[in-house]
Amino acid sequence: MEHYTPSTPESATAQNLRHDWTLAEIESIYTLPLPELVFRAQSAHRQNHAANEVQGCVLLSIKTGGCPEDCAYCPQSAHYKTGLEKKDLLDVDEALASARAAHAQGATRFCMGAAWREVPKGEPFERVLTMIRGVRDLGMEACCTLGMLTQPQADALAEAGLTAYNHNLDTSSEFYGEIISTRTYKDRLATLERVRTAGITVCCGGIIGLGESRRERYGLLRELSSLTPHPESVPVNMLVRVEGTPLAGQQTEDPLELVRMIATARILMPKSFVRLSAGRLSLSDEAQALCFLAGANSIFMGEKLLTTPNPETDADQRLLDKLGMRLIPQTQADAAETSAHGRG
């Protein structure tokens, strides 16, 4: 196979970012010899981001379990018996106490997730808006993942000061039906469009290890890189297998596939924050270091990602210390993501 080669080192990071990558081009990048792939990704990374800094984020489940969606990987789905305790929407004070604790740990982004198919009207949504205002008052970025949105809801989130809205595509459009039947791919893209219209930055990525082939991974990367503008935030997750879900018996994914996914995302979307997300607990320090070399520049801190385990904050700090890396300082993090894309 003939591999894609940028004409100059700067071509991948020019202001006219590409949104028309083909599957063949993406395949040629993804399958490069690993040293060459990581070199190209690191080169693109250094053109757009500090080489030795990662953003610290904390993710809190503000409403847990009972989701009517049937996502085959998710322990929060009401379709599966996973032993997860269902919890109603948190009080504002409890959510903001977690945000203050995250800030004290060095996190600059606080993410709140609610197991809803779509955002309910009335008091629950008003409560979330109050949480967002409280997080912003702490000087932190605020991100939410709440399910599908109407345009008035997206506008209200923007008015409250929401920094980013997370709504993952999960996988390629071709493989999507193997994982989820209760929401279409078009539904997801429509919510992303409403977020953009409201002026909120987009956090959108996917998961590897669902049983998809490499071709489906290329398809996901094509979908993400075709969004205009690119998502400011691209979380790359590796499946965390949970007993009771349809994917509990899925084979463990090779960590080097995660490295390839991150590196290719970095080359296709050089200005985006690429977030090393779920599945990190299964990675060795060496594998995580490779992910950073491949262009990941954000981690989720804390012992949980919504409901699945995550490395403890002390372990993260020890790893960063060993690598000579650091968290993005709180004084400069608030505008880092938006300024990289020329947004106010």
Instruction: Choose, from 40, 57, 111, 280, the residue flagged as catalytic.
Output: 111
Instruction: Choose, from 136, 260, 266, 275, the residue flagged as catalytic.
Output: 275
Q: What 3-state class would DSSP assign to 256?
A: helix
196 catalytic? Reply is no
Question: Cα 55–59–64 angle (5° rounding)?
Answer: 170
Q: How many residues does the chain have?
A: 344
What the block records as the tokens of 318 is 């020890």
| Contact yes or no for 209/175 (Cβ under 8 A) | no
Instruction: Choose, from 57, 143, 144, 291, the residue flagged as catalytic.
Output: 143
Instruction: Choose, from 203, 204, 260, 266, the residue flagged as catalytic.
Output: 203
Place of tokens 């469009």: 193
57 catalytic? Reply is no
CA distances from 75 to 65, 69, 72, 115, 241 (A): 8, 11, 9, 10, 9
67 catalytic? Reply is yes
144 catalytic? Reply is no
Distance of alpha carbon 282 from alpha carbon 308, whole angstroms: 12
Query: Nearest CA to 153 among 131, 115, 125, 127?
Result: 125
What the block records as the tokens of 62 is 């503000």
203 catalytic? Reply is yes
Instruction: Choose, from 71, 144, 204, 291, the residue flagged as catalytic.
Output: 71
What the block records as the tokens of 97 is 């106490």
214 catalytic? Reply is no
204 catalytic? Reply is no
Instruction: Choose, from 74, 144, 204, 291, the residue flagged as catalytic.
Output: 74
How many CB atoms are located within 10 Å of the residue 140 CB? 24
Query: Nearest CA to 267 among 7, 3, 13?
Result: 13
Distance of alpha carbon 285 from alpha carbon 318, whole angstroms: 10
Looking from the CA of 36 toward its CB, the CA atoms found within 13 Å total: 10
Active site residues: 67, 71, 74, 111, 143, 203, 275
